Amino acid sequence: MKKNDLLFIGFMLFSMFFGAGNLIFPPFLGIQSGTSYWTAILGFIVTGVGLPVIVIAAVSIVDGGIQSIGNRVHPIFSTIFTVIVYLCIGPFLAIPRNANVAYEMGVKPFLHGSAQQSSLSLFIFSIVFFALVFLVSLNPDKMSKYLGRWITPVLLISMVVLCVVGIIKLAGHPSLAPVGNYKTHSFFQGFIDGYSTMDALASLAFGIVILTAVKRRGVKDKKQLTSYTLKAGVIAGAILALVYVSLGFIGVKMASEGTFSNGTDVLTATSTLVLGQGGKALLGFIFTLACFTTVVGLTTACGEYFSALIPKFSYKTVVITITVIGFILSNLGLNLILKFSVPFLEMAYPITIVLVVLTFFHKLFRGSKRVYGFALFFTGIFSLFEGLQGFGLSLGPVKTFTQALPLASVGLEWVVPALVGIVIGLIFTKWDRHTNTPHSLKTKASEQSL
């Protein structure tokens, strides 16, 4: 495979990753972390960049991707987990979130009218947006051409202009004290904030898309497939890290310019401050393009997965269904969509992290289903508790117990239960092997003959 092809595949992966969450959260992290910015952004990069690249690597190593990884726990778990991940990073959460953010930043700031007119403009925008998504997603063979060769370079140039001008023109510096958990746990708060990009979950789907893109360029050898896929992930990850650091540092500098409620407000104020009305237009263009490329990537990934899972539904049929559902949900409003995103991520991310980590140590415990099962069971219980609390449910004594666990103060109360599950799985695995040794089997046979 040519180096240019690898570079464009890396660009394509970056463009699929880089959506609404990737733009919104880093600058707000910069605002809140203040003098602890570099520690906080490091934590953010671990889960916002490192984890997605690791997931891409895991998918490339295991034949069959996320489905095969899940099968190491149990086929039923694999199907349920995979379907939930695809639905949530696809039509039921990430796709409508990105489409709505594209409207909120790319169109709404330039409109003046009533709420009814705003709803109508969102409806019209959604029709055009999802029509274009459908047309580009319809031919996945050409996606690297659309995203890697054309759209991503334009997106990167726009981001460079905004970040460079913002960092040069803004006079502020990281002198303000951090707020909230950034005061005492800046790294871990950044680590948790990295969940919101949803890129680790998306990697479970994008990994297959990248593998397919590499295979279509004539690469057949397993080691080469893994190598090229990982290199594409590193290229995308390096660009993501650079963008996160730049956007976060803009947030640090904007801290002295006023009070902001979210990262969108930070970037809107920044673009207007340093570039005037043209800056607002540039920011709207960046958001629209970034959200569009992510939605195309997610639609393609979901189309390929569900058409393979249910053969009677063609790829085109699935893509039509996804775009229609995304269109409907995007018109419900951004606040309603975001209300469900954080609790879901708090439930899904720990399971994904543990599953991927175990994948890399698979040979050390000989792929024991006991280890996978107990580890995921304990992780799932405590991540479920965290998610239910995020939805506003009062768990009473359960909350008291979970808050007493190590690392609970930094939002990682699931870590110790996961380790306990691994240990229990190893103990049961060792016991099973002991009771099934030739000597033990011979003893049992002798006892039965008596």
Contact 305, 82 (CB under 8 A): yes
Torsion of CA 357, 306, 210, 53, to 10 degrees: -20
| Residue 177 per-residue DSSP state | P
Q: CA angle, corner 59, sides to 55 and 60, nearest 5? A: 115
Supply 444's token pair.
């049992």
* C-alpha distances out from residue 11 to 4, 151, 153, 293, 371, Å: 10, 9, 8, 11, 37
If one counts every other C-beta atom within 10 angstroms of the C-beta of residue 56, the result is 28
Give the Cα separation of 394 and 380 in Å (integer). Answer: 18
One-letter-per-residue 3-state SS of 269-312: HHHHHHHHHHHHHHHHHHHHHHHHHHHHHHHHHHHHHHHHHCCC
* CATH 3.30.9.10 applies to domain 3-333: no
Give the Cα separation of 447 and 443 in Å (integer). Answer: 6
Task: Residue 188: name the closest of 44, 52, 352 by CA.
Answer: 44
Supply 338's token pair.
């975001």
Contact 255, 39 (CB under 8 A): no
**Residue length, the chain?**
450
3-state secondary structure of 90: coil
If one counts every other C-beta atom within 10 angstroms of the C-beta of residue 408, the result is 18
Supply 291's token pair.
């959200």
Contact 375, 418 (CB under 8 A): yes
Give the Cα separation of 104 and 120 in Å (integer). Answer: 13
Contact 405, 383 (CB under 8 A): no
Name the helix (H) or strand (E) containing 79. Answer: helix 75-89
Give the Cα separation of 431 and 75 in Å (integer). Answer: 24
Give the Cα separation of 204 and 16 in Å (integer). Answer: 13
Contact 112, 253 (CB under 8 A): no
User: For residue 195, how far is the Cα from the chain centroid?
Assistant: 7
Where along the chain do its domains lie? 3-333, 361-450
If one counts every other C-beta atom within 10 angstroms of the C-beta of residue 141, the result is 9
Task: Residue 143: name the closest of 30, 263, 299, 253 by CA.
Answer: 299
Contact 42, 187 (CB under 8 A): yes
Give the Cα separation of 350 and 379 in Å (integer). Answer: 7
pTM for the model: 0.80
SS3 content of the chain, % helix, strand, coil (to 5): 80, 0, 20
pLDDT of residue 315: 92
Give the Cα separation of 265 and 171 in Å (integer). Answer: 18
Torsion sign over Cα 106, 146, 248, 262: positive
Contact 317, 134 (CB under 8 A): no
Torsion of CA 140, 143, 144, 150, to 10 degrees: 170
Task: Residue 81: name the closest of 348, 340, 342 by CA.
Answer: 348
Contact 334, 101 (CB under 8 A): yes
Counting as low any pLDDT under 50, the low residues of the chain are 441, 443, 445-450
Name the helix (H) or strand (E) containing 417. Answer: helix 415-435
3-state secondary structure of 158: helix
